[in-house]
Structure 1
Amino acid sequence: MDEQNQKLPEGIVIRFRDCFSVRYIQSASLFCRLGYELEKEYATTGTLSAEQRLRHEAFILNAIFSSVAFLESTINELWSDAADNAYFFSDEKNEALLQAVGEKWKNENYFDRTPLPNKYQKILEIGEKPLFEENDPDYSGIKDLIGIRNYLMHYRREWIVIQTDRTPGAHAETHAEKFERLLKNRFDENPLAPQNLPFFPDRCLGHGCAEWAVTTSLSFTDRFFRNLGLPAPYEGIRDELATR
């Protein structure tokens, strides 16, 4: 009898848990590398086809989306695994922590509508570990990254001002101006965008931004798990997370 067609005996239940956080960070890293390859080709040839430019934009946008999806799923997987007693890497040292995290997960008022960065802070709080400072580069970095993702995901059109009075209070700050203030000089600008275009989105959304999204996300979660004394779920695939 073909083994593939054999049926399980009645009463046998097979359960498994997926780990989408790993898939998301793998995807973000892959998109980042693909965007880099196109920018490298452009640096050599000085030209890209319309199709290649579209691919570049898709790779960069999806690297950003996948990086934030990684942050979201990482913390939710930790919460839910602790609640279901399904954290397979625990030992006596962190058993009490995971039990406390699981109990808090079951209390919807504790985390419901909690902003993503604060979910990480709450677990550190439960574990009586130092919280991230608001001005910590990794913590402020993921907050800015989440801000970009939220703007792009829930996009509403607005006027983009090329030249304006920079006097404070001269006009309401646009999203484009906000992102320029927060992100300019943090990473290399998009070499495919002419310099006369606005910083955001055109000159911002290149490989430099995608790479910053991936490395900042990983740096933040590395420190988070290290502070808790727990292994990072992506530890076994680090060699797959190159950004160029």
Structure 2
Amino acid sequence: MTSSRNEEVEAAEAAAAAFNATVSLRSYLSTHHLYAARYLAQDANERERALASRAPLFDVRHQGLVLASITESVAFVEAAINEVYADVAEGRGSYVGQLSADCCSHMSTLWEAAGDRLQALDKYNLALSFANKPRLEEGANPYQDAKRLIELRNYVVHYKPHERTTDDPHRHEGALKGKFPENALMSGSGKPWFPDQAFGAGCAEWAWRSARSLAAQFSKRMDLRLNYEVADFGDPLPN
């Protein structure tokens, strides 16, 4: 939330208190998810660096930070597009006021009919189609990395135990290996690349940056500025 917005809220609350009125405020949680993912990745990196000299080592706090960054990154992807559709459907113009009436009509109809059932990436591309903007290319980034990130989140959140040998690569290995530095705490462990060597600070950093890249490309094509792009917490996201 920007400083000017804070001042507006404080003024509204003061006026409401004077007249014993109720103030309605709108929250955008997507930005909180993104910052959480960023801070979790930062903490994972600091812990990984601090413990690297003791490798190979499994550290449950480090793993918790990495897993949480992955899930928070996808929470941002999902919340960001939901906020756009909800703003359109409810006639909230703060972030979507420049969209055409035709685009808003299509988005509102879709949101009300199937908003809870559509996949997040489909919502992004459908919005672009409604606005007559180029869709995100499914075979290229940022779409591809966002898709892999969501699949990784699903693996973590809907985990099912399975057995395999060290010479039997997991399906996620082919999709993710080489995209980020390996977990330094598993160096020399002989453990499979996925998940042991994959779930490190590098993965956490890739996760939140991939999520932001998707949202940034979407907002650029839609000619919008999403909440995370205008919110001011006094600690800007690194480039």
**Where on the TM-score scale, by shorter chain, does this alignment land: which range?**
0.7 to 0.9
Question: AA paired with 2:31?
Answer: V
Question: AA paired with 1:185?
Answer: G
Match of 1:152 in 2: 156
Question: AA paired with 1:154?
Answer: H
TM-score, normalising length: structure 2: 0.84
Q: Quick one: structure 1 residues 87 and 161, their matched pair in 2 at CA, closer, same or farther if it must change by over 3 Å? A: farther
Match of 1:169 in 2: none
- The number of equivalent residue pairs is 221
Contact 2:95 2:227 survives alignment (8 Å): no
List aligned pairs for 1:1-80, cutoff 5 A.
Answer: 9=19, 12-43=21-52, 46-47=53-54, 53-80=59-86
Match of 1:167 in 2: none
Q: Quick one: structure 1 residues 77 and 228, their matched pair in 2 at CA, closer, same or farther if it must change by over 3 Å? A: same
Aligned residue for 2:54, secondary structure, equals: coil
Kindly provide the CA deviation profile for residues 68-115 of structure 1, in whole angstroms up to 9, marking residues without a partner as x. 000010011111111111131344x42423344223322x14x45222
List aligned pairs for 1:69-108, cutoff 5 A.
Answer: 69-91=75-97, 93-96=98-101, 97-106=103-112, 108=113
Q: Quick one: distance in 1 between partners of 2:223 and 2:91? A: 17
Match of 1:171 in 2: none
Match of 1:227 in 2: 221
Cα drift, residue 242 of structure 1:
3.6
Q: Quick one: distance in 1 between partners of 2:74 and 2:40? A: 14
Question: AA paired with 2:54?
Answer: T
Q: Quick one: structure 1 residues 14 and 95, their matched pair in 2 at CA, closer, same or farther if it must change by over 3 Å? A: farther
Q: Quick one: distance in 2 between partners of 1:94 and 1:104? A: 15
Match of 2:9 in 1: none
Cα drift, residue 38 of structure 1:
1.1
| Cα RMSD, aligned residues only | 2.5
Q: If you compute each CA radius of gyration, which structure gives the higher value, 1 or 2? A: 1
Contact 1:24 1:67 survives alignment (8 Å): yes
Cα drift, residue 7 of structure 1:
6.0
Contact 1:25 1:241 survives alignment (8 Å): no
Match of 1:168 in 2: none
Contact 1:30 1:241 survives alignment (8 Å): no
Correspondence for 1:200 among 188, 194, 200 = 194
Cα drift, residue 200 of structure 1:
1.0
Give unpaired runs (5+ residues) of structure 2.
Answer: 1-13
List aligned pairs for 1:93-172, cutoff 5 A.
Answer: 93-96=98-101, 97-106=103-112, 108-109=113-114, 111-164=115-168
Cα drift, residue 138 of structure 1:
1.0
Contact 2:100 2:131 survives alignment (8 Å): no
Match of 1:172 in 2: none
Give unpaired runs (5+ residues) of structure 1.
Answer: 165-175
Aligned residue for 1:234, secondary structure, equals: helix
Match of 2:10 in 1: none
Q: Quick one: distance in 1 between partners of 2:54 and 2:137? A: 44
Question: AA paired with 1:18?
Answer: S
TM-score, normalising length: structure 1: 0.82
Match of 2:5 in 1: none
Q: Once the two structures are aligned, what percentage of the paired residues are identical?
A: 30
Q: Quick one: distance in 2 between partners of 1:241 and 1:156? A: 34
Match of 1:240 in 2: 236
Q: Quick one: distance in 2 between partners of 1:144 and 1:198? A: 19
Q: Quick one: distance in 2 between partners of 1:134 and 1:34? A: 32
